[in-house]
Amino acid sequence: GLLLNGMVKIPMQFFILFIGAMVFVFYQFETPPIFFNTVETQEVRSSDYGDQFHSLEEKYEIAAAEKELKARELISAMRAEDEQNINEAEIELREAHQNAQGIRDEAIQLMQENNPDMDPKDTNYIFLGFVTEYLPAGLVGLIIAAIIAASMSSTSGELNALASTTVVDIYKRIFKQEATDRQYVIASKVATIIWGTYAIILAEYASRLGSLIEAVNILGSLFYGTILGIFLVAFYFKWVKGSATFYAAFIAEAAVIYCYVFTDMAFLWFNVVGCVGVIACAIVLNLFIEKPAQR
């Protein structure tokens, strides 16, 4: 089951990143909206700042068209394999991008003046805007239905798993070892409510981190490496005992959190730190922890 899960999720993650890259490329040759959150743009259009915002939109369309032209010139230079033209086109494309980005920043600042509580990040609206604007209506419905169905299935499975683990590993072992089935069911429902509330709070926090895909990967990278290290120790270092691996996991996780809080290390490297940390610490600790037990 674990291997099958990995075989499915790795291509799925690649496919998700591929879609993001293709949407980025698409908007290099198609004028994007100045801001993807349509609620905020409609609000500022109907406010006293409407005329200024409309003027910025017109400037942005001109700048985006110039950027598209420079992108096509770069492609032509790359196809001709002309290094001088490639370098010149790259510089001109960067300048066009900075010009368009500057106009966009002015528009965001204008929206913030109109609504100080607005979120200046619209990363999570880009793909939705692409779907609703450019895909056929029927396909849009299928995509939205698939997203909702997948989220409901994932949420249900995770809540059930967390509730079951809480009841079996915590409630049954610590609080009531000889409880009735009814008491276990009630405890499971309470645990589901607690974990559901925790998930909602975490989702509210994650929504402020910008791109949700990046936020999920950042939060996951804090724990994935440690978990992978535990599995690798179990599979390939069978002579390492459980106690050493247990303490090694805490040490490695502390190292990962230290890297996250006090360093500028890219979050993908947290997986390496956690995995290597668990394996190395488990091997070293096994030499000291298990010796007294063997004697």
Q: Which candidate, 125, 122, 63, places its Cα nearest to that of 98?
A: 63
Cβ pair 223, 274 in contact under 8 A? yes
Non-local (6+) Cβ contacts of 285 within 8 A are: 243, 244, 247, 248
Q: Quick one: CA dihedral 139, 145, 147, 153, positive or negative?
A: negative
User: For the packed helices 181-206 and 137-166, what is the interaxial angle rounded to 10 degrees?
Assistant: 130
Burial 252-277 (b: 16+ CB within 10 A, else e): bbebbeebbeeeeeebeebbebbbbb
* pLDDT at residue 45, as a whole number: 92
Count of H-run helices and E-run strands, the chain:
10, 0
**DSSP letter string, 217-250:** HHHHHHHHHHHHHHHHHHHH-TTS-HHHHHHHHH
**DSSP letter string, 58-107:** HHHHHHHHHHHHHHHHHHHHHHHT-HHHHHHHHHHHHHHHHHHHHHHHHH
Backbone angles phi, psi at 60, to 5 degrees: -65, -40
* pLDDT at residue 293, as a whole number: 47
* pLDDT at residue 295, as a whole number: 44
* pLDDT at residue 227, as a whole number: 92
Helix extents (H) in 81-175: 83-114, 126-134, 137-166
Spell out the domain ranges in the chain. Answer: 31-134, 135-210, 211-295
Q: Which candidate, 225, 243, 220, places its Cα nearest to that of 290?
A: 243
Q: What is the pTM of this model?
A: 0.68
* pLDDT at residue 209, as a whole number: 67
Q: Which candidate, 94, 123, 118, places its Cα nearest to that of 107?
A: 118
**Three-state DSSP state, 169:** helix
Tens-binned pLDDT, residue by residue, of the chain (295 aa): 556 666 777 787 788 889 889 999 999 999 999 999 999 999 999 999 999 999 999 999 999 999 999 999 999 999 988 888 999 999 999 999 999 999 999 999 999 999 988 888 888 888 888 988 898 888 888 888 888 888 888 888 889 999 999 998 888 888 887 878 888 899 999 999 999 999 888 887 776 666 777 777 888 889 989 999 999 998 888 888 888 899 999 999 999 999 999 998 988 899 999 999 999 999 999 888 755 544 4
* pLDDT at residue 292, as a whole number: 52
